Amino acid sequence: MKKWQFWLGVLISILFIWMALRGLRLDEFWGAVQKANYIWLVPGIAVYFVGVWVRAWRWHYLLGPIKKIPTKTMFPITTIGYMGNNIYPARAGEVLRAVILKRKEGVPVSASLATIIVERIFDGVVMLAFVFVNLPELAKLTGESGFVGNIQQAAVIGTGVFIGALVIFLLAAMYPHVTAKAGLWFIERLTPKRLHTKIISIMNKFLDGLASLRSPFNVLMVFFTSVIIWLLETGKYWFVMHAFDFSVSFFALMLMNGIVNLATTIPSAPGYIGTFDAPGIAVLGAYGIDQATAAGYTLTLHVALWLPVTLLGAYYLTREGIKWSDSLRTETEN
């Protein structure tokens, strides 16, 4: 990872943290945190891990045309990916789980990465759906709520990006031979001849990873499971809310979930520091929640989302006896 990219992420996180916490009275913040009933985190974490299991099942489903791998095998690898995203920059956890899957099951890294990109595209589409389904809730966000007040414009732009990417991947999946011919044309003209064989091999494996999208039923199943995953995560938002002295509707939390997860696509320090917290606090502020309570809830939620899966992923990674080293990185080339 280049140092300038890491420090850019750190600077962006600092900016978002400043936006989130400016004007916050620390005594009121600590008061809100100390009064919270943390027993509500237990069902929240439980619901969240059900969602992680569904993620593992979705990945098993996407990889089905390449190799049938049980969901119970995919679950530890999925948690390792979460752990990697939470502690390494640039979502390195996605590459990490593709490499581990190659080690354990022999699935080419490029094919795994194709399925992971498909996951992320569907996640983005669902997040945008959460925003647009809750347009009445979105109307409550005014200019006083800061940059979140302009979320409609950002959502329209995001919709174009994610839907465009989805269409491209669907076409590539449905017409693999045409896509391969087009890719070969670009490879032969834009890359050194000595690398052609290797790049073509990677491209073909990547296209193999899109095989599950050739069936309309499969596409609907991936979308359906993506909706379930994010509804379960919103369920965690709902449970954690009960630990604090405020209440908003489940739809408001769906909207918050959609906004904060779209914001985490912005480069930041590992763990989405700031890019998760600032929009979350701003959304709650738009519903009239005082800043101290909104900050206490959002930061607690962030820790509850980050810590359990990171610890579990670290446990599974240790059990595999794998370290994120230069030798491991070289496996991503295959």
Q: Mean pLDDT score of the chain, rounded to an integer? A: 87
pLDDT band at 285 (very low <50, low <70, confident <90, very high): confident
Residue 323 phi, psi (nearest 5) = -125, 145
CB-based contact 27:286 (threshold 8 Å): no
**Does pLDDT of 89 surpass 90?**
no
**Does pLDDT of 332 surpass 60?**
no
pTM for this prediction: 0.88
**pLDDT score at 241:** 98
pLDDT band at 156 (very low <50, low <70, confident <90, very high): low
**Rounded CA gap, 211 and 128, in Å?**
25
**Rounded CA gap, 135 and 145, in Å?**
16
More confident residue, 300 or 160: 300
Whole-number percent of the chain with pLDDT over 70 = 89
**Residue 1, SS3?**
coil
**pLDDT score at 142:** 52
> What does the DSSP assignment read for 166-178?
HHHHHHHHH-HHH
**Residue 246, SS3?**
coil
pLDDT average, residue stretch 257-261 = 90
pLDDT band at 326 (very low <50, low <70, confident <90, very high): very low
pLDDT average, residue stretch 138-153 = 57
**pLDDT score at 117:** 92
**Rounded CA gap, 146 and 210, in Å?**
40
> What does the DSSP assignment read for 257-276?
HHHHHHHTTS--STTTTTTT
**pLDDT score at 264:** 87
